[in-house]
């Protein structure tokens, strides 16, 4: 089974993706995490990093190639949860996951902005926190490995506005494409991760 997570920036796709992966026993393919972990000596590091920092979409031919190779791994034979792909219809030309289910996590711009500006990542292990909904036990320090918590370079209001523009102009078309196929389940992503995930489980029954 292939499940595609789609929604505006900071709608909780990464968090719900992890929860869904554990719940169903499916591997999680998080494109954003994969891209942020590209080695600095890679030929693709600089162009992809620059695009992400400006809120742009990295080349879909490059990203599609990455994903095509990644899902060939035996761990994805029974399916996977995909987060971060299909932000525009042209992406399908380079990698079509043929999802059995599309979960559209819908959230307001105001909530998205609040979550983005409150997000912190630990420098060592990449553990994610939110100062409002999921703060660390000790301010500025990761609960898991004790490293410093920092904001991502692209977690700014300016970048978020640009990403929202991309979502409304391009990604909404992708959602409509899958609605026509009858595989979309829309979820209100305004609440806590637990309340959102309960909706996900209810919609999947």
Distance CA 11, CA 113 (A): 10
Statement: residue 57 has pLDDT above 60: no
Average pLDDT in the 45-60 region? Answer: 67
Mean pLDDT in the chain? 90
To the nearest whole percent, how much of the chain has pLDDT over 90? 69
Distance CA 53, CA 60 (A): 16
41 or 164, higher pLDDT: 164
Contact 130, 12 (CB under 8 A): no
Statement: residue 58 has pLDDT above 90: no
Predicted pLDDT of residue 43: 63
Q: List, in order of start, the domains of the chain with CATH numbers.
A: 2-107+155-204 (3.40.50.300)
pTM: 0.84
Statement: residue 52 has pLDDT above 60: yes
Distance CA 107, CA 181 (A): 23
Sheet containing 27-30: give its strands across: 27-30, 80-83, 2-6, 101-106, 184-188
**Segments of 32-127 assigned E as strands:** 80-83, 101-106, 119-122
Predicted pLDDT of residue 64: 86
Contacts of 198 (CB under 8 A, 6+ apart): none
Strand pairing class (119-122; 128-130):
antiparallel
What H or E segment, with its residue span, contains residue 161? Answer: helix 157-166
Average pLDDT in the 172-184 region? Answer: 97
Confidence of residue 2 (pLDDT cuts 50, 70, 90): very high
Statement: residue 80 has pLDDT above 90: yes
Predicted pLDDT of residue 31: 83
């Amino acid at each position: 089974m292939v499940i595609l997570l789609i929604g505006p920036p900071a709608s909780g796709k990464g968090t719900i993706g992890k929860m869904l992966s554990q719940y169903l026993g499916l591997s999680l393919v998080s494109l954003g995490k994969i891209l942020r972990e590209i080695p600095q000596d890679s030929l693709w590091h600089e162009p992809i990093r620059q695009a992400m920092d400006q809120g742009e979409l990295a080349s879909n031919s490059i990203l599609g190639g990455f994903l095509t190779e990644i899902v060939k791994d035996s761990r994805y034979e029974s399916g996977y949860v995909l987060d971060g792909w299909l932000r525009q219809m042209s992406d399908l030309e380079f990698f079509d996951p043929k999802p059995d289910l599309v979960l559209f996590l819908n959230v307001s711009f105001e909530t998205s902005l609040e979550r983005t500006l409150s997000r912190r990542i630990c420098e060592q292990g990449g553990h994610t926190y939110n100062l409002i909904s999921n703060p660390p036990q000790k301010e500025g320090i990761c609960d898991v490995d004790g490293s410093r918590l920092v904001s991502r370079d692209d977690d700014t209001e300016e970048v978020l506005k640009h990403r929202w523009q991309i979502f409304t102009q391009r990604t909404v078309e992708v959602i409509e494409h899958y609605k026509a196929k009858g595989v979309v389940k829309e979820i209100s992503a305004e609440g806590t991760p637990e309340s959102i995930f309960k909706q996900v489980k209810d919609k999947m029954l």
